[in-house]
Amino acid sequence: MLSPEELSRYSRNILLNEVKRAGQEKLKNSVVTVIGAGGLGSPALLYLGAAGVGSIRIIDSDILDTTNLQRQIIFKHSDIGRFKSEASSENLRSLNPYIRVEGIQARLTTENAKELLKGSDLVLEGSDNFDTKFLTNDICVEERIPFITAGVLRFEGMVMGVRPGMDACFRCVYENPPPPEHVPSCADAGVIGSMAGMIGTIQVTESIQFLLNDSERDSGLFGRILQVDSRSMEFRTISAVRRKDCIVCGALH
Ligand SMILES: [Zn+2]
Instruction: Give the model confidence (pLDDT) of 20-69 as tens digits.
Output: 999 999 999 999 999 999 999 999 999 999 999 999 999 999 999 999 99
Do the domain assignments include residue 145?
A: yes
Q: How far is the CA of 247 from the centre of ligand 1 (A)?
A: 7
Task: Residue 148: give the domain boundaries.
Answer: 4-239
Rounded to the nearest angstrom, the gap between the alpha carbon of residue 91 and the centroid of all alpha carbons in its chain is 18
Q: Is 172 a catalytic residue?
A: no
Q: How far is the CA of 251 from the centre of ligand 1 (A)?
A: 9
Residue 214: per-residue pLDDT: 62
AA letter at 37:
A
Eight-state DSSP code of residue 233: T
How do residues 209-240 score in pLDDT, each as one tens digit?
Answer: 999 986 556 679 999 999 999 999 999 999 99
Do the domain assignments include residue 58?
A: yes
Residue 83: per-residue pLDDT: 98
Q: How far is the CA of 166 from the centre of ligand 1 (A)?
A: 10
Averaged over 183-212, what is the pLDDT? 92
What does DSSP say about strands 156-162 and 224-229: parallel, antiparallel, or unpaired?
antiparallel
Q: How many domains is the chain built from?
A: 1
Do the domain assignments include residue 50?
A: yes
Residue 2: per-residue pLDDT: 97
SS3 of 141, please? Answer: helix
How do residues 76-127 score in pLDDT, each as one tens digit?
Answer: 999 999 999 999 999 999 999 999 999 999 999 999 999 999 999 999 999 9
Q: How far is the CA of 225 from the centre of ligand 1 (A)?
A: 14
Q: How far is the CA of 223 from the centre of ligand 1 (A)?
A: 11
How do residues 119-161 score in pLDDT, each as one tens digit?
Answer: 999 999 999 999 999 999 999 999 999 999 999 999 999 999 9
Q: How far is the CA of 9 from the centre of ligand 1 (A)?
A: 40
Closest CA to 175 of 141, 139, 137: 137
What number of other Cβ atoms are within 10 A of residue 57's Cβ?
Answer: 21
Do the domain assignments include residue 244?
A: no
Separation CA 92–CA 96 (nearest Å): 6
Do the domain assignments include residue 251?
A: no
Burial 17-52, CB ≥16 within 10 A → b, else e: eebeeebbbbbbebbbbbbbbbbbbbbbbbbbbbbb
Do the domain assignments include residue 247?
A: no
With a cut of 90, say whether residue 188 has pLDDT above it: no
Q: Which of 169, 186, 246, 249 is catalytic?
A: 186
Do the domain assignments include residue 192?
A: yes
Q: Residue 113: which CATH number?
A: 3.40.50.720
